[in-house]
Amino acid sequence: MQEAIYTSIHGKWNSFQSMFTQLEAYIAEEPMCRYRISIGTDSQVHAQTTRFVTGIVVQRIHLGTWACLTKRIVAEKMLNLYERLSYETALTEQVLILFTQARKEQLLNLINSQLGEEALLFEAHLDLGSQLENRSYVYADEMIKRVERFGFVGKLKPDSFVASSYANRFTK
């Protein structure tokens, strides 16, 4: 699999590790803060392709945000909703698993130990509705279970802002 390119307003990184180094630097700037790292993917079907964007948002709780994204274009129109949502979830999972236990501990070690383990939270944001009237609702339970098996909290709309707002903005 080809290494993804991660971009933000702060730069461009050719590997997860180089992006992770920037993320570490962001956290190291303020070790007395609590952090939430949220990862989510959204997609948009275009004339001949489907564009997928995965966002990584690091919230310094109540004090700011650092974010980046990676894009993938599939050379076909993915019109089947289940297929597209499953692929969105798979792309989110690909980033989630790169946050290995060792990397999580690296980040936690940058934060003041007095804040405890809850000083660093991880969430998977899925572009799925949490209400019966939403077409994607029927797949929500399956997709939530997929990300939870990796040990991440799964969030649905309206709480899945990384997928439904941040990544969505860049799928157009």
pTM: 0.93
More confident residue, 132 or 1: 132
Closest CA to 120 of 95, 148, 93, 101: 101
How does strand 64-74 pair with strand 50-60?
antiparallel
Closest CA to 36 of 56, 69, 67, 58: 58
What pLDDT is stored for residue 33 in this prediction? 95
Tens digits of per-residue pLDDT, 84-114? 999 999 999 999 999 999 999 999 999 988 8
Query: Tokens in use for 101?
Result: 């236990």
pLDDT at position 2 over 60: no
pLDDT at position 124 over 90: yes
At which residue do the structure tokens 């993320």 appear? Answer: 23
What pLDDT is stored for residue 1 in this prediction? 47
In terms of C-beta density within 10 A (0-12 exposed, 13-18 middle, 19 or more buried), how is residue 5 classed? middle
